[in-house]
Structure 1
């Protein structure tokens, strides 16, 4: 008897993809239409955390920001192509942890593509800062991508150490 779909790595990956994508899109909708952050600009939440409205027309850390309107199409097509490759990886991996991480990365990538198509730019609003230091403004999709990549890197390092000891 086979495992239920959601207990298989691919099923878990799809679940995490949908959770990351949903959390991203719901948070952006609330920021734009519930909190009305575009008209408020910035709201202090904690001494080290603000909601600050930024329309990101570029990619990670503002790279390639000067490519104009063509960038919207190019970035979206590239992100969707990468998402397709990630789905293949997710379907083929026997590891639930890898599938979950790849699902989070894919969900985040798709969330940012939806923004580019819908608004012409990605909605960024989470702004961490402290002691004169300020990080880039980001969103839930970016967080899902970065956290999942970090977990994959740690997993890879730990697996490499296990293979060296055996």
Structure 2
């Protein structure tokens, strides 16, 4: 009598990694938290720092300085503000494409940080003065100098973007793939089921 073969691998339940519904949920959750934190801190900066000088924290390691930036870091592209929303839309589309095969929790966190940061600054570009899609981004954090002479003044959206990109680079360098696998590691193959005859040296067993 032939033994019943075990269930084949390769089904949705036996794939490596985390179910895509969970990873996408984590991606969106991280993005939402990053976006809300950015919007709240910008509103606090506008309400408490408008009309006053830099506020020193941690002995001058960090300064709170309210600025409005029409460009990127170091005011790069300040005369072409309209370009940045287009770039952000491209980033959002790329993250959506990546999410189609996303089964890795670290990658979900990385992409969520990038998405949240991108949406935070996009909100400024669309809704803040001087107009739609040319709005100036609210920045308020300066390191080691009150006016961004050592490092550009930034906000939490910028921090989220940088952390997400750095994490993505580390994941790539360590071979962590977006589908939950590891680069250069072959998935274990399931052994073929053995019949009763094969288990006994290939000779059929006679009846008693």
TM bracket, shorter-chain basis:
0.7 to 0.9
Deviations 1:2-32 (A, max 9, x none): 8xx9971101000001000011001101111
Aligned equivalent of 1:31, options 36, 40, 45: 45
1:82 aligns with 2:91: yes
Backbone CA RMSD of aligned residues: 2.7
| Deviation of 1:151 (Å) | 1.0
SS of residue matched to 1:25: helix
1:43 aligns with 2:58: no
**Conservation of the 8 A alpha-carbon contact between 2:88 and 2:118:** yes
Alpha-carbon distance in structure 2 between the residues aligned to 1:94 and 1:165 = 16
**TM-score normalized by the length of structure 1:** 0.82
1:145 aligns with 2:168: no
Where do residues 11-22 of structure 1 align in structure 2 (5 Å cutoff)? Answer: 11-22=25-36
In the alignment, structure 1 segments of 5+ residues that lack a partner are none
Where do residues 120-135 of structure 1 align in structure 2 (5 Å cutoff)? Answer: 120-129=135-144, 134-135=150-151
Alpha-carbon distance in structure 2 between the residues aligned to 1:123 and 1:56 = 7
| Deviation of 1:164 (Å) | 6.1
Q: How many residues align?
A: 156
The runs of at least 4 consecutive aligned structure 1 residues that moved more than 2 Å come to 162-166
Q: Name whichever structure is richer in strand by fraction.
A: 1
Q: Name whichever structure is richer in helix by fraction.
A: 1
In the alignment, structure 2 segments of 5+ residues that lack a partner are 1-12, 14-18, 129-134, 177-181, 187-208
**TM-score normalized by the length of structure 2:** 0.67
